Amino acid sequence: MTSTSGSGPIATAPRTLAGGAGLAALLTDPRHALISLDYDGTLAPIVARPSDAVPVPGALAALARIAQQVGSVAIITGRPVSALLELARFSEEPGLDSMVILGQYGLERWDAATNQITSPDPLPGVTAVRAALPQLLEDAPAGTVVEDKGHALVVHVRRTSDPDASLAALTPALTSLARDHGLEAAPGKRVLELRPPGHDKGRTLRDRVTELGARSVLFAGDDLGDLPAFDAVDELRATGIPGLTVCSDGPEVPARLREQADLVVPGPEGVVALLRLLADRLS
């Protein structure tokens, strides 16, 4: 199975038997399928400023089209739901009634059908870390930025002169700070996120599959934070629920994620092309 994008042909045949079985199950019984995707690097490009990461052209239309053909579409992201809604304008796209956004690794939820956001109170540890970060980062490299998600704090080093060295230098102190206040320090693409423990995309994906009674699942992602969701797909397969993992490839994609994926596509444009192809097959 092949498709095309602006960069040329895309191979969309899974390279693993398990991935092929997941794709076949999705195409055979789409009304019991869950299509779940990361946002940054998967539907939107990785950019220097998170506030500039809008979906690539055609992404919302492709999501709306596939959402009409499968049981559910879910965006599973580390971003706050409100920030993603403002940035991507999902609520303004017709045809996304079955979509949910599971933000901050499942701590928050938005249902398109009701246009309602549900969110718990932040942990006390987040407040303590927020207060401590300015002093801890006082001598951090120029370009270090803190993103406040409400339920988590993210330290970005992408705009420093040497992002990899900056992250390596800051990680020990940030990890210790998180641990002291009951949080975990989760690495990503030139970021370190200080967040509540026990919440990751794998747990969120499993919970959504259980909630829906899904009989197949696709998950697409591009970063270290997506590896737990890839692992969850493997675990679901072991219970008899077929699945397909998709890597949205790019220069900063971790090698492990690329190697573990059943299917590798060229970035967000490749993800959109895959969604279009699936919609074509289902129609």
Examine domains 2-120+199-282 and 124-195 and report if their fold is the same.
no
CATH class of the region 2-120+199-282: alpha beta
pLDDT given at position 3: 53
Contact (Cβ atoms closer than 8 angstroms) between residue 221 and residue 229: yes
pLDDT given at position 19: 97
Q: Where are the domains of the chain?
A: 2-120+199-282, 124-195
The pair of three-digit structure tokens given for residue 174, joined into one six-digit string: 């940030």
pLDDT given at position 7: 42
Verdict on whether the full-model pTM lies above 0.75? yes
pLDDT given at position 49: 84
pLDDT given at position 5: 47
End-to-end CA distance of the chain: 15
Cβ neighbours of residue 74 closer than 8 Å, sequence gap 6 or more: 34, 35, 36, 37, 99, 100, 101, 102, 205, 208
- Using a 10 angstrom Cβ sphere, with 0-12 exposed, 13-18 middle and 19 or more buried, the burial of residue 95 is middle
Cβ neighbours of residue 133 closer than 8 Å, sequence gap 6 or more: 146, 153, 155, 177
Single-letter residue type at 33 = A
| Inter-helix orientation angle 163-180/124-136, to 10° | 140
Cβ neighbours of residue 120 closer than 8 Å, sequence gap 6 or more: 107, 151
**Bridge partners, residue 209, by sequence:** none
Record: fold of 124-195: Alpha-Beta Plaits (3.30.70)
Instruction: Reduce the DSSP state of residue 207 to 3 states and report it.
Output: helix
Ordered per-residue pLDDT tens for the chain, 283 residues: 555 544 444 456 899 999 999 999 999 999 999 999 999 999 999 988 888 899 999 999 999 999 999 999 999 999 999 999 999 999 889 999 889 999 999 999 999 999 999 988 888 899 999 999 999 999 999 999 998 988 889 999 999 999 999 999 999 999 999 999 999 998 888 999 998 888 899 999 999 999 999 999 999 999 999 999 999 999 999 999 999 999 999 998 999 999 999 999 999 999 999 999 999 999 8
